[in-house]
Structure 1
Amino acid sequence: MVGIVSYGTYIPRYRIKVDEIARIWGENAEVIKNGLGVEQKSVPGSDEDTATIAVEAGREALKRAKIDPKKIGAVFVGSESHPYAVKPTGTIVAEALGVGNDYFCADLEFACKAGTTAMQICYAMVRAGIIEYGIAIGADTSQSRPGDPLEYTAGAGGACFIIGRDCIAEIEGTYSFASDTPDFWRREGQPYPSHGGRFTGQPAYFRHIVGATQGLLEKLGLKPSDFTYAVFHQPNGKFPMRVAKMLGFTKEQVKQGLVVPYIGNTYSGSSMIGLASVLDVAKPGDRILLTSFGSGAGSDAFSFVVTDKIEDFERNPTVFEKIKSCEYVDYGMYVKLRRKIRFG
């Protein structure tokens, strides 16, 4: 039985409200909030980046599981905002967590699904007996051009999952669906990404989420009603609810894992933080669906079955407790923290 042994999350405490961003650009905040299903987003501090976020999430996961870091055999960090173009984030994280020198390590990048890809790799390595425990992290400080629609949702945060055999949630199965769909991209040296507007919806997000989820359900012989919870990638608050309805899932199944209205789209951390929020309240026997999405494009789908070990697992502070612990900033401070003022 291989699955999630422990998990941890980190969400920066700064927030900026959609109303404040709309005020600067002279737009109707209510129209934007209703259209996106987002009220506010998280903002990283001046000394926070993907590496620091990953470290904090990893420390929480290790502390909760009471695992000796030296037993970690692999560290994979998925992100599209690694702090270095040439230098791994993974080794920084492993060193900070106290992992020894005998471990597999790599940085992964597949837009917003790089973290779930890390989970699949760790799952395969544990099942194969290559490692005892593996760390899979999805973390981002997502970028957005000033005035671009992305600015209303691009947040920051991350989640860490330790994969092993003595698990609180067994991985019942996983399935991936991918294609060359250029809906979102950022070339080397460019500070902000470009996107295909409405093209990012049907041919990208919806096609791949549906493809991966249906593939997993067929593979396992399951149906939506077999799941207690469902978590989908959250670029905004509308897409996950719409795709859930398309697939036959209810609002109640999706509600607990829907964190984007309060912290924005944390990219590689998005669906993983949603999963962590579900695990915060899950009970033995609950079945959880997770389907990520990464532009370019692809989706990873998982089915988890919660085990009895969840009852003795330390789950505080919860994701929603962290969401509530925040400090709001105005647009000027936001621009400063995100280093959007460029000289020369």
Structure 2
Amino acid sequence: MDGGIVSYGVYVPRYRIKIDEIAGVWNEDPESIKGGLRVKQKSVPDIDEDTATISVEAARNTLKRVEIDEKKIGAIYVGSESHPYAVKPTATIVAEAVDATPHLTAADYEFACKAGTAAIQNCLGLVRSGMAEYGLAIGSDVSQGAPSDQLEYTAGAGGGAYLIGKENLIAKINKTSSYTTDTPDFWRREGQRYPSHGGRFTGEPGYFEHVTGATEKLLEKTGNQPDDYDYAVFHQPNGKFPVRVAKRLGFNKKQYSPALVVNEIGNTYSGSTLIGLAMVLDQAEPGDRILTTSYGSGAGADSFDITVTENITDVQQKGPKVNDFLKEGIYLSYGEYAKHKGKVK
């Protein structure tokens, strides 16, 4: 069935903090941490930025690339684990900001780092069924990490937005598959300020089990082999995991390296896979095949088989590219970072 990506856009805050700066505060060895995580710095939201503002910016950058009537957007879903309100949807803020109200359905999703890809799957279903002409799927986060916790070194900020439809596709979504279990590798209860995690438990039974399971199922459904793809995009909680899982599945460096942005901006959680995919779409050519697999703790993974169309070249030039957000940022001291993140009350 037809359906896929009509447009895409991202937003990443301009502020950064280096791993050396964080490590110095906690008397840790920065080289050991950078070598272990393969991350040298991360993005930090401005004082007045949150998941809602990042989602709005990503959505606007998506709509800059195409000429559509925003009133034809029949669904907006925002995936995040850092929604600004416990009770009040982020999606309605985005809908109002892009002038898509009032005749649409909107909701917030939460599934750790894969809520954005879940939103894409839902929008794709609505579009293919004819219930919506367009759906806007967003993954956005200003992720949290407790002071001195390992998460503090990687928890970044950013988001990606994808306009899903049936006509004028820049990339057709051919197949999708998911792999989901009740694996409690990462959690945060209501009222808790920072999330908890299972340390090394988040690796094999969490990330690798689910990313591998979803990807292998997709390859089975499509009848494809890893070398049938030009690009492979995997969720980037750090710089090691996506490389390790790509090699384990049979993908080579030429396929997976173009999507890697975690070294520059950290783990943007729900935005991570979507920003990685956008990085690839920024440079893809008609006919290219892309495999994309997200991961969300708790735990699940969504995998997509994507074919780039001839429409990609026009859309690529009409909005800011991921590299535009990876340019030299404004670097913060730990004290300034703590103020930006609200760690100091």
What SS does the aligned partner of 2:155 have?
coil
The answer for unaligned runs of 5 or more in structure 2 is none
The answer for unaligned runs of 5 or more in structure 1 is none
Structure 1 stretch displaced more, 314-323 or 150-159: 314-323
CA deviation after TM superposition for structure 1 residue 68, in Å: 1.6
CA deviation after TM superposition for structure 1 residue 214, in Å: 0.1
199, 202, 214: which is aligned to 1:200?
202
What's the counterpart of residue 338 of structure 1? 341
What SS does the aligned partner of 1:324 have?
coil
What SS does the aligned partner of 1:256 have?
helix
Runs of 4+ in structure 1 displaced over 6 angstroms? Answer: none
What SS does the aligned partner of 2:277 have?
helix
Counterparts of 2:41 and 2:6 in 1: how far apart (Å)? 31
What SS does the aligned partner of 2:181 have?
strand
Counterparts of 2:68 and 2:248 in 1: how far apart (Å)? 40
CA deviations on 1:10-48 (whole Å, 9 max, x unpaired) are 000000000110111111111110100101000000000
Q: TM-score, normalised by structure 2?
A: 0.98
CA deviation after TM superposition for structure 1 residue 325, in Å: 4.3
In the alignment, residue 73 of structure 2 is paired with which amino acid?
Answer: I
CA deviations on 1:67-120 (whole Å, 9 max, x unpaired) are 221111100000000000001000011001110201011100000000000000
In the alignment, residue 21 of structure 2 is paired with which amino acid?
Answer: E
Q: TM-score, normalised by structure 1?
A: 0.98
317, 322, 326: which is aligned to 1:323?
326
In the alignment, residue 337 of structure 1 is paired with which amino acid?
Answer: H
What's the counterpart of residue 313 of structure 1? 315
Structure 1 stretch displaced more, 298-307 or 65-74: 65-74
Counterparts of 1:42 and 1:33 in 2: how far apart (Å)? 15
Counterparts of 1:340 and 1:332 in 2: how far apart (Å)? 9
What's the counterpart of residue 66 of structure 2? 65
Counterparts of 1:270 and 1:240 in 2: how far apart (Å)? 11
CA deviations on 1:284-316 (whole Å, 9 max, x unpaired) are 000001100000000000011000011221434
What's the counterpart of residue 138 of structure 1? 139
In the alignment, residue 145 of structure 2 is paired with which amino acid?
Answer: S
Q: Percent identity?
A: 63
172, 175, 183: which is aligned to 1:173?
175
267, 270, 282: which is aligned to 2:269?
267
What does 1:227-306 align with in structure 2 at a 5 Å threshold?
227-306=229-308
What SS does the aligned partner of 1:121 have?
helix
In the alignment, residue 80 of structure 1 is paired with which amino acid?
Answer: E
What's the counterpart of residue 47 of structure 2? 46
What's the counterpart of residue 190 of structure 1? 192
In the alignment, residue 344 of structure 2 is paired with which amino acid?
Answer: I
Counterparts of 2:256 and 2:213 in 1: how far apart (Å)? 18
What's the counterpart of residue 87 of structure 1? 88
> Is contact 2:61–2:320 with CA below 8 Å preserved after alignment?
no
RMSD over aligned Cα, in angstroms?
Answer: 0.7
Counterparts of 2:315 and 2:108 in 1: how far apart (Å)? 29
> Is contact 2:295–2:302 with CA below 8 Å preserved after alignment?
yes
> Is contact 2:5–2:164 with CA below 8 Å preserved after alignment?
yes
Determine if the alignment matches structure 1 residue 158 to structure 2 residue 159.
yes
CA deviations on 1:100-153 (whole Å, 9 max, x unpaired) are 201011100000000000000000110001111000000000000000010000
> Is contact 2:111–2:298 with CA below 8 Å preserved after alignment?
yes
What does 1:6-21 align with in structure 2 at a 5 Å threshold?
6-21=7-22
In the alignment, residue 211 of structure 2 is paired with which amino acid?
Answer: I
In the alignment, residue 220 of structure 2 is paired with which amino acid?
Answer: E
What's the counterpart of residue 33 of structure 1? 34
Counterparts of 1:66 and 1:120 in 2: how far apart (Å)? 23
Number of aligned residue pairs: give it.
342
